[in-house]
Structure 1
Amino acid sequence: MERRYLGATGMSVSATALGTANFGPPTNTDRAETVGMIRTAIEAGINVIDTSDGYGDGEVEMIVGEAIQDHRDDVVLATKFGAPFVDDPNRQGASPRWVRRAVEASLRRLRTDHIDLFQLARYDWNTGLDETLSALTDLQSAGLIRAFGHSSFPVEKIVEAQWVAERRGHARFATEQARYSILHRELETAVLPTAQRYGMGVLSYGPLANGWLSGRALAENLRAKFDPSMFDTTDPANARCAELVAELAKVAEAAGIPLPHMATAFTRTHPAITSVIIGPRTPHQLQDQIAASDLVLTDDLLDAIDAIVAPGTEVIPGDTSIYRTSPPSITDPAQRRRHGQRSSKT
């Protein structure tokens, strides 16, 4: 398994990371099986385990904690906090109060005395970066976390966070976690170059584009059972996506490579990407993705992919995750409208 350094953290990590979003309810509720999958991944050389305090309402962190007990020194343990999995505004976001409570709760569930990478799951528009960075720096100084990062930050906030850390004397965000696939290439325009400029590590998720690149018939895709509209090809955008996937499948077939293997290898190719997070649901899917972990695509194959989906292209612009939320300037009309003033008359 190829190893790469995670930005400036000094931590050597596998180029493939195990994501746990498909463990626990509502996807795979067989706890023994998911514990076994984590241990299988570690034995195969995957040393990054990525989870979140919100997966399964904290249950997945407990699964991870159980699985790594005999492997803690071999694992770079990454978890996330701050996503709005509950309605209570004081149990989400990046306020110093919640940062401290979140890390303490994650440490208990993960059954460890430290977290290697503590990640803010999304930008918090209600808390100043100075406040968040101060709290995270204190956790790092206390030894509760080794490094911290963020996920799905707009590029301007990535830059602002680096500036605030330097100006205020805080430790800085060392990593970004972002969605990246052949069908989601918007990151190539600004986010990935910016991460490189600041020496940040990048963990990418969603290499199979929510199942579009899984190689399975759309009707068989598990996500279609939860949100049938996701693959409804009567929608023009989905119809176009299906056409592009069919073209990509032909390229993969001509190269003698399964489409999901080509899709995952594509994301590992970008020099800004440190580790690609895979999200298997079953042991079979895990073994299949491990088997492709060392696949390297040729320049000719990458050129063929670029010809189908151009660099910087976002094929499904409406496909957003829970972490990609619009700023208040977009969601709150009052921030775009001047009230209480008379209109001018000509």
Structure 2
Amino acid sequence: MRYRVLGGTGIEVSTYCLGTMMFGAVGNPDHQDSVRIIHAALDQGINFVDTADMYSAGESEEIVGKALRDPRRREETVLATKVFFPFGEGPNRGGTSRRWITRAVENSLRRLGTDWIDLYQVHRPDHRTDIEETLDVLGDLVSQGKIRAFGCSAFPAEQIVEAHAVAERRGLRRFRSEQPPYSLLARGIETSVLPVAQRYGMGVLTWAPLAAGFLTGKYRKGRPVDLTSGRAALAPQRFDPALPVNQAKLDAVEELIAVADDIGATLPELAIAFAAAHPAVTSVILGPRTGEQLEGLLKGASLVLTDEVLDRIDAIVPPGTNLYQPDGVWRPASLTDPALRRRPLGDRAAAD
């Protein structure tokens, strides 16, 4: 296992990070098995574990807490979690306000069974809260010793720049990391997010290296896809081979499999090695549901891609290109909230 420094924090983290989204009700509901998987990852050199308060409504954090109950394991593990998405019913139970973050961090600490969080991340941008408000409370949590550093997730480049400008202008602590989606089929962050992260010396934790399963080798051109089970049953439109966007992914997969075969690697090994190859990337998040999946993902931990291989990949999926929109990636509120694009009826009438 290789290790890199997380941004300018001085914290050394493994090149591969164990993502725990699949531990709990939405993936593996067996707590003991999930704990075994976490321990197996730690025993093989991974020292970086990422979770979030919203994964299985806090259950993932509880499982991670059980796995790190041994003080020695906790001390040796760099623990990351996130805040933003609504947690429960009613107002003021999500977002990045001081009111919610101060409550949410205490809940995460309790579920994780720890006194501190190494990296506390804003899961998505919050257009309802001034970034100054968010940076201010996160800085206070660092001063209080409840978190060691904080970062953002799925922020567009312009909002990363804005956050750093506000931090500098107001004398606040700044985001130390960014967590974007990145894979052989979704390279959009190469355009601006990764260069901006490098410019500000931020660590980068990438997720979805297997492109929602398309880079596992399970889905192949010309083969039928069962749209009634697994991931495909949850979102058939993402896997239906009749759709042009999925046809483009399947075409690229066939060419990428040929590249992997030529270097004696599997497609997943190629995919994970690709994400780790970018100089801006600190760690690649792996999200196994089973121990077998973890073992398969770690087999390629020592794989290093040559310039020739990377050139072949560039010819298949050009740099900065998204063959699909990564699920869960941030979209501007100006596009998702119609009210922000339309004047109130009274104003429109007056303008007429």
Same fold (TM > 0.5): yes
Q: Deviations over 1:234-274 (max 9, x none)?
A: 11111111111111111111221100000000000000000
Letter of the 2:248 partner, please give it. Answer: R
**Is it true that 1:325 corresponds to 2:331 in the alignment?**
yes
Aligned to 1:76: 78
339 and 141 in structure 1: CA distance in 2 versus 1, 3 angstrom threshold = same
Which has the larger displacement, 59-68 or 234-243? 234-243
Deviations 1:23-70 (A, max 9, x none): 111211111110000011001000000000011110110000010122
Percent pairwise identity: 50
Contact 2:333/2:340 (CA < 8 Å) preserved in 1?
no
One-letter amino acid matched to 1:309:
V
- Residue 313 and residue 334 in structure 1: after superposition, are their counterparts in 2 closer, same or farther (change >3 A)? closer
Superposition deviation, residue 224 in structure 1: 1.3
Q: Equivalents in 2 of 1:342, 1:142: separation in Å? A: 52
Please, which of 104, 107, 118 is the counterpart of residue 105 of structure 1? 107
Tell me, yes or no, if the aligned pair for 1:148 and 1:173 is still in contact at 8 Å.
yes
- Paired amino acid for 2:332: S
Between 17-26 and 334-343, report the one with greater CA deviation: 334-343
Q: CA RMSD in A?
A: 1.5
Matched position secondary structure for 2:349: coil
The corresponding residue for 1:120 is 122
SS at match of 1:163: helix
Deviation at 1:147, TM superposition (A): 0.2
Return the TM-score normalized by structure 1: 0.95
* Letter paired with 2:240: D
Larger mean Cα displacement after TM superposition, 258-267 or 215-224: 215-224
Query: Aligned pair count?
Result: 341
Q: Does the CA-based 8 Å contact 1:329-1:336 persist in structure 2?
A: no
TM score, norm. by length of structure 2: 0.93
Q: 1:236 aligns with which of 228, 241, 244?
A: 244
**Contact conserved, 1:50 with 1:78, CA < 8 A, in 2?**
yes
1:42 maps to which residue? 42
- Which of 337, 340, 345 aligns to 2:349? It is 340
Measured in 2, the distance between the counterparts of 1:140 and 1:159 equals 21
Q: Residue 150 of structure 1 aligns to a residue in which SS?
A: strand
Code of the residue aligned with 1:327 in structure 2: it is A
Displacement of 1:328: 3.4
Letter matched to residue 107 of structure 1? L
Which of 295, 300, 303 is equivalent to 1:295? 303
Q: Distance in 2 between matches of 1:333 and 1:110?
A: 38
- Rounded Cα–Cα distance in structure 1 between residues aligned with 2:179 and 2:143: 23
Q: C-alpha distance in 2, partners of 1:334/1:8?
A: 37
- Counterpart of 2:56? 56
Pair 1:265-2:273 in alignment: yes
Matched, 1:316 2:324: yes
2:139 maps to which residue?
A: 137
Contact 2:23–2:34 (8 Å) recurs in 1: yes
Q: Identify the residue that residue 22 of structure 1 maps to in structure 2.
A: 22
**Alignment-derived partner of residue 67 in structure 1:** 67
Shift of the alpha carbon at 1:10? 0.8
Contact 1:149 1:174 in 2 (8 A): yes
Could you list the runs of 5+ residues in structure 1 that have no partner in the other structure?
none
Q: Indicate which of 272, 276, 279 corresponds to 2:284.
A: 276
Secondary structure of 1:147's counterpart equals: strand
Offset at 1:336?
4.3
Are the counterparts in 1 of residues 203 and 280 from structure 2 also a CA contact under 8 Å? Answer: yes
Residues 295 and 334 (structure 1 numbering): CA distance in 2 closer, same or farther, change over 3 Å? Answer: closer
User: How far apart, CA to CA, are the structure 2 residues paired with 1:209 and 1:216?
Assistant: 12
Superposition deviation, residue 188 in structure 1: 0.3
1:326 aligned partner, one-letter code = P
Q: Does the CA contact (< 8 Å) of 2:232 and 2:238 recur in 1?
A: yes
Query: Secondary structure of the equivalent of 1:18?
Result: strand
Q: Is the 8 A contact 1:125 1:328 kept in 2?
A: no
Deviates more, 1:249-258 or 1:329-338: 329-338
Report the CA distance between 1:83 and its aligned residue. Answer: 1.9
Residues in 2 aligned to 1:12 and 1:190: alpha-carbon distance in whole angstroms = 25
Give the secondary-structure state (helix, strand or coil) at the position aligned to 1:249: helix
Q: What's the secondary structure of 2:178's corresponding residue?
A: strand
Residues 311 and 341 of structure 1: CA distance in aligned 2, closer, same or farther (over 3 Å): same
> Which one-letter code corresponds to 2:210 in the other structure?
L
Q: Which residue of 2 aligns with 1:185?
A: 187
Aligned-residue offset at 1:85 = 5.3
Preserved contact between residue 207 and residue 278 of structure 1 (Cα < 8 Å)? yes
Select which of 262, 271, 287 maps to 1:254: 262
CA offsets 1:80-137 (integer angstroms, 9 cap, x no match): 1112455534111100001100100000000000000000000000000111111001
Amino acid at match of 1:60: S
Aligned to 1:307: 315
**Amino acid of the residue matched to residue 266 of structure 1?**
F
Structure-2 separation of matches of 1:135 and 1:342: 41
Q: Whole-Å Cα distance in 2 between the matches of residues 313 and 85 of structure 1?
A: 34
Distance in 2 between residues matched to 1:201 and 1:214, nearest whole Å: 26
Query: Conserved in 1, the CA contact under 8 Å of 2:334 and 2:340?
Result: no
